[in-house]
Structure 1
């Protein structure tokens, strides 16, 4: 798993199903931080405050990462909701994700095995149709080069998924550039070759 590039939810997503007369509503969202995961959970709990249970789980970080996770059975028998939901998330191939499964009890007891299947299946159903996008960790560089290298520099930007944030013209030309961290080494090499070494490249900051 490349921790610098991975799938994340593209937005808010909701599905629902009925199991033995109980209504299960699954809400999935992007959660790049623990704080945002908890805020999302609180919003869903507020929306469905009349439900019997609002069970939840989240994984902050790359798919399968257990460094920042959380879960809650929210009143269901211990181990029948939060843990199965988290397990489904960890195997779902999506990172930075939070999910709440809301249950309106329909009068039929599902038993522990039935609950585990219901909550696992609800998360899997939510992930199946989830719109996703790619999270790309990026880095910003300061680049200083001669005027003669401007055209070549601009032509090489798309190949390295690099974007110019600002430019400044003086005795030389200065750029601030943002690009995926996985592209930095190749970008440095290509830029050094292009300018025959007449370039200054400084790392400014990286995100995530």
Structure 2
């Protein structure tokens, strides 16, 4: 997946169900380490709560290597899995959900818990504003001074970024090119430089 939606910022929703209070938080987290760090932050923020159940899709939505969930003491399958199911169904990547529960003394039963935890994430997802993430790879380009302007313009036209330039005998540019546009970008660069431009991955 070359591009996908990610959350723009943290959101939270709160709901009371049979005297239990559920606070569901969603946040952008790039990678498993960031997801686990966010879960820990929420644990510390709501340290007096009985449960801190969580789920994350820490990479691209289709990356099954970066999924995780926990029931955190609730009956098995009643919290983390329904939370993860909602995240996966949203098509959003790099997102972590933590549901904080303050027990109100009335058991909800397994079905009630699944509905509460899954429903909390569903409600929170409706509040999420998203950004589009485009996967880019960093490259180093060397070109003649006469090609500096057209090369920079082409990189930007293809959705890339020019991050740094060094001016020596030739111009050396550090650029980031969208993975999905790499082959077409290189083809066009070779056309405008008549095959003289050198490109290498950083």
The answer, yes or no, to whether TM exceeds 0.5 is yes
Match for residue 40 of structure 1 among 24, 38, 41: 38
Note the aligned Cα RMSD (angstroms). Answer: 1.6
Match for residue 20 of structure 2 among 19, 22, 26: 22
SS at match of 2:187: helix
What residue is the counterpart of 1:163 in the other structure? 161
Which consecutive aligned stretches of 4+ in structure 1 deviate over 4 angstroms post-superposition? none
Query: Which runs of 5 or more structure 1 residues have no equivalent in the other structure?
Result: none
Deviation of 1:64 after TM superposition, in Å, equals 4.3
Do structure 1's residue 126 and structure 2's residue 119 form an aligned pair? no
Do structure 1's residue 73 and structure 2's residue 75 form an aligned pair? no
- Rounded Cα–Cα distance in structure 2 between residues aligned with 1:66 and 1:148: 46
What residue is the counterpart of 1:9 in the other structure? 7
Do structure 1's residue 184 and structure 2's residue 164 form an aligned pair? no
SS at match of 2:185: helix
SS at match of 1:120: helix
Query: Which runs of 5 or more structure 2 residues have no equivalent in the other structure?
Result: none
Q: TM-score, normalised by structure 1?
A: 0.89
Q: Is the 8 A contact 2:155 2:177 kept in 1?
A: no
- Rounded Cα–Cα distance in structure 2 between residues aligned with 1:150 and 1:89: 44
Q: Is the 8 A contact 1:64 1:91 kept in 2?
A: no
What residue is the counterpart of 1:92 in the other structure? 90
Deviation of 1:151 after TM superposition, in Å, equals 3.0
Deviation of 1:44 after TM superposition, in Å, equals 0.7
Corresponding pairs, count: 202
Q: TM-score, normalised by structure 2?
A: 0.92
